């Protein structure tokens, strides 16, 4: 006889508890319990086999007594002590069978019995295949259990508040014809999801999976939703760049990386990628194959429309509301954990930076381009800040202080090689940031040089 599963015994116990609930009410007048018992005996109740039956008074009283003494456990069906024990053969035969199973898991129960009988193990002559398989399953030594990989136990990580945790990852999308290379290339979707509201703070398709694509996505997400508390991403090289660390330090953003070989921490964005693969990719393929969507810009326009109309506005199975509603609710409940930062500060933090030594000619070289700088910087190591989409303008800093704007002398490359294929609005945003830095420096010089002795002495021009 097989052991009844624990969930089945608990189901029966809950059914019995529903029967005795009226008897548990306190306080109860004298004689009321007897009347309730009589009413219960006249009704039909479900038994262990889900059949409607009448229960006797003594049966209901036994249920009540067992519950008061042992709780819910007292209402569970009793299991005979001898169930699961060895009857047909001895423990020695079972131990030998377990040793053979562990040594040679490919052998069936029938083959194990043959080996035991050939070895004249006591009790093996009484073994049968079904009985041996039952005991092996009970001990967790059946072949499916041995093949099963032992996995680490994970706990569901939760945060309280919108923009407390952003999760970033890259998904391999469909192919698209690229006019620049004259061939089809796989699209890469770089996406950032808010863990609390499941809202996609920004997602965009690119032809590459490199540092400029990641920074472009993060820049747009911060400009739209401000700076989050934690930015959680993969452990790949593109997510561990020195420039990304500098951006985080200047904006006060904490970057966390998942452990190598353990992507479970990014499960929420991986689940969203599955939604994109099942619901958006087929529609996108239909558009590209029909010729209605032909360029990367059109792909992102179509994807943005799907994101806003189909994902952000649809009910989420876990949240029981749409991601947009979840975000609005979090903001209304003062659970918005993002920190506002001025756009100019954000743009400046995303400028690329490289250190170079000024040569004796008063020039610096970067990306095969030569630039002239101030003579006072000869022989010194300066920091060059620039927009990778436009290398014609280079800002020169020494010891963290803006000194000048480098003058192009020899230009071979007008963009950094990794962003040649990608001209986005980030180019304009970073260019405005550089113009603001230069203008701020000019205003500061003008303010310092505006003080004169004539003004201090209040001397008039006609005097």
pLDDT of residue 102: 85
CB 105 within 8 A of CB 97: no
Give the DSSP H or E segment for 417.
Answer: none
Label residue 34 exposed, middle or buried (CB < 10 Å: 0-12, 13-18, 19+). exposed
**In this predicted model, what pLDDT tens digit does every residue of 185-204 receive, in sequence order?**
999 999 999 999 999 999 99
**Residue 364: beta bridge partners?**
371
pLDDT at residue 274 greater than cutoff 60: yes
CB 231 within 8 A of CB 248: yes
Q: Which percentage of the chain shows pLDDT scores above 90?
A: 24
Q: Assign 451 a pLDDT band (cuts: 50, 70, 90).
A: very low
CB 234 within 8 A of CB 209: no
The whole-number average pLDDT for the span 318-324 is: 91
| The pair of three-digit structure tokens given for residue 196, joined into one six-digit string | 């609390």
Q: Which percentage of the chain shows pLDDT scores above 70?
A: 84
Could you give phi then psi for residue 163, rounded to 5 degrees?
65, 20
Kindly report the pTM of this predicted structure. 0.61
Residue 363 Ramachandran class (φ > 0 left, ψ -120 to 50 alpha, else beta): beta
When comparing pLDDT for 159 and 130, which is higher?
130
Residue 182 Ramachandran class (φ > 0 left, ψ -120 to 50 alpha, else beta): left
Among candidate residues 385, 366, 364, the one with its CA nearest the CA of residue 247:
385
When comparing pLDDT for 138 and 39, which is higher?
39
pLDDT at residue 176 greater than cutoff 60: yes
């Amino acid at each position: 006889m097989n052991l009844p599963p624990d969930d089945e015994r608990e189901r029966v116990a809950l059914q019995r508890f529903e029967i005795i609930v009226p008897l548990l009410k306190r306080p109860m007048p004298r004689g009321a319990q007897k009347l309730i018992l009589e009413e219960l005996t006249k009704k039909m109740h479900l038994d262990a086999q889900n059949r409607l039956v009448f229960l006797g008074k003594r049966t209901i009283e036994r249920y009540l007594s067992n519950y008061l003494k042992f709780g819910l456990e007292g209402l569970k069906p009793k299991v005979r002590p001898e169930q699961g024990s060895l009857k047909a053969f001895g423990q020695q035969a079972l131990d030998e069978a377990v040793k053979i199973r562990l040594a040679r898991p490919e052998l069936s129960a029938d083959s194990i019995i043959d080996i035991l009988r050939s070895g004249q193990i006591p009790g093996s002559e009484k073994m049968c295949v079904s009985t041996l398989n039952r005991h092996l399953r009970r001990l967790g030594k059946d072949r499916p259990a041995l093949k099963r990989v032992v996995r680490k136990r994970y706990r569901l990580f939760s945060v309280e508040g919108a923009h407390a945790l952003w999760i970033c990852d890259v998904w391999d999308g469909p192919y698209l014809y690229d006019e620049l290379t004259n061939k089809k290339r796989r699209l890469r979707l770089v996406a950032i999801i808010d863990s609390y509201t499941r809202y996609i703070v920004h997602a965009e398709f690119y032809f590459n999976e490199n540092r400029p694509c990641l920074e472009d996505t993060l820049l747009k997400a911060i400009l739209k939703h401000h700076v989050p508390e934690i930015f959680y991403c993969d452990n790949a090289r593109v997510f561990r760049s020195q420039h990304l660390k500098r951006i985080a330090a200047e904006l006060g953003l904490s970057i966390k990386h998942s452990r190598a070989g353990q992507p479970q921490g990014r499960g929420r964005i991986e689940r969203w990628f599955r939604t994109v693969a099942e619901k958006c990719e087929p529609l996108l393929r239909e558009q590209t194959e029909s010729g209605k969507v032909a360029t990367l810009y059109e792909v992102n326009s179509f994807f943005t429309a799907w994101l806003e109309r189909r994902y952000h506005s649809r009910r989420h199975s876990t949240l029981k509301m749409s991601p947009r509603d979840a975000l609005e609710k979090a903001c209304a409940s003062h659970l918005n954990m993002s920190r506002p930062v001025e756009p100019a500060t954000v743009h400046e933090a995303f400028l690329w930076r490289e250190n170079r030594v000024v040569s004796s000619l008063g020039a610096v070289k970067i990306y095969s381009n030569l630039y002239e700088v101030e003579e006072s910087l000869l022989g010194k190591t300066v920091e060059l800040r620039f927009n990778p989409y436009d290398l014609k303008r280079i800002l020169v800093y020494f010891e963290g202080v803006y000194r000048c704007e480098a003058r192009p002398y020899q230009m071979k490359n007008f963009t950094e090689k990794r962003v040649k294929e990608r001209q986005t609005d980030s180019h304009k945003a970073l260019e405005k940031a550089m113009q603001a830095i230069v203008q701020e420096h000019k205003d500061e010089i003008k303010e310092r040089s505006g003080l004169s002795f004539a003004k201090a002495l209040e001397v008039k021009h006609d005097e």
